[in-house]
Structure 1
């Protein structure tokens, strides 16, 4: 199994898991700690100094599709830098029966998934009856299904990968948990030559976003490699 095939299938599996599987998210917060001075606050209104300690905890999240189902009851905060853009977030009441953006996104993803996979399976010669399963079960087995026709029809495998990229992005946008991306410097992916991006607040790894003609290869670069990436891009620009 070649490197490109492995990277594409791994990225496909990661996308599918984001859509159907629970995951844990790191949440950073500040805990107020009051330092009491018994000689001054005993029996008096407390005016003792308060300092804040940084803490981190793990929070279990439902898969993105399940979060879309529960969108109306559990809305997450928009993480995009709207204040910096001069556009503070203003909540606008949705029309009856409420804000249905999340439910519309779920319906759109579901319909598109079955339509696209039905076409792909027909062209690849796979059994289309497998698609009668619920979407969660379809996604759970999608890597295996794509791996069966990847060698003969890599173009169809890339169609499925690009679609799952889109569904994950669409779900996160509807849930308002996505963080805007920024292009990373003037360098490109060392694996495929695609563009690189990183979350605006540097909360993510630098990741390959592909080119207009090709999907991302799945390569990521942790923070420990950012300086080397930047210096490489600077050298390439100078030469």
Structure 2
């Protein structure tokens, strides 16, 4: 009985798959304006059994501005935190240029006026096992109101700050706008990131520095420190 159950369980795992994603990002911060300007090259391998006809990315920072689903929910619950923010206090993430499968095309926004989901119809289907490259030039700015991101003075809390590939799983594309009660869901991926920041900025991030000084030598934590 036990060996049979084990074989059944093992057989279930053979059908598992997940998409293969790699990001190569270069970005620079203009500190006075708070605007981050970046370029990302996304390499994507379709490991699913399905031919894909679309491609989606999250633009999460667009939740923290007027017109978003997040702002609408806040207003409905009488928490007008983002709906009435004015420039330059609201966040944004704007795609300036994009190339998909070698063709230049800007995305559409299926949930407009919310712009947390960007969509492209692919020039041709992406068959199982095939790959594509998407290149995006974008600009982003944080909100002065801190909610999962924010900026104050010289502090910039960038989270989900780049065009992030939407998960495609056994249920299809998980292309949902970001709501206050929502949570992030992303593909596992590899990252190669180059940041151009003022020399005295300390970067808080995961990863292994390969060149340059993120300032970590001056911002070490004491593991023996006790906090009541």
| TM-score of Structure 1 vs Structure 2, range by shorter chain | under 0.3
**What TM-score results when the alignment is normalised by the length of structure 1?**
0.27
More helix by share: 1
More strand by share: 2
Q: Which has the larger radius of gyration?
A: 1
**What TM-score results when the alignment is normalised by the length of structure 2?**
0.28
